[in-house]
Amino acid sequence: MQISKQFRMLFGAIVKAGVISIFCFSVLAFAEDTKPDTPKTLEGVKVVSAVEAKALFDKKGAAFIDFRSAINFGKGHIPGATVVPYKEKSEFKVGFDSAKDSFDIKKLPSDKSITLIFYSDGPNGWKSYKAAYLAQKAGYKKIMWLRDGFKAWEANKYPME
């Protein structure tokens, strides 16, 4: 049985596309893993563990704000959390240039005195660090930062939507 030339060409194109896709996803995963960790503290912002965040969640003592992309939010998030995607193009460092980033601070609650818990992916999740810094500069008084992020929440098997 002979395989047609068109079929061989189509099969070859599919294999090449698969190899390219695997390469691209590998590069993206590597880039995410090579981001430096965020600082362990942020002046004016309380860093909380997943356990502390869960205690506030149980008491309905805070509003949770997720700064990951809408796609990642859709894959799973803390129940009741609000997604406020933070699009970053600035460097991953203290003293970042927020003018390079896109963050709609108007999507945060208007009451600047309520307790907010900011989170993104994990210790190298600069989006929540940057958003907490900017929200604090904008006058929000009770910002808590779940530095270990959604990864810690998920690792503890806490509720997710």
Residue 140, pLDDT score: 97
At 81, phi and psi to the nearest 5? -65, 150
Residue 118 in contact with residue 135, Cβ under 8 Å? yes
Q: What is the pLDDT along the chain (161 residues), one digit of tens a residue?
A: 566 666 565 555 565 654 454 544 443 444 456 889 999 999 999 999 999 999 999 999 999 999 999 999 999 999 999 999 999 999 999 999 999 999 999 999 999 999 999 999 999 999 999 999 999 999 999 999 999 999 999 999 999 99
Q: Which stretches does DSSP call E strand in 8-120?
A: 46-47, 63-66, 82-83, 115-119
Residues 36 and 122: beta-carbon distance below 8 Å? no
pLDDT given at position 147: 98
Does this model's pTM top 0.85? My answer is no
- Token representation of residue 149: 């992020």
Predicted confidence at residue 34, as pLDDT, reads 80
The CATH class for the domain spanning 46-155 reads alpha beta
Render the burial of 105-139: b for 16+ CB within 10 Å, e for the rest.
eeebeeeeeeebbbbbbbbbbbbbbbbbbbbbeee
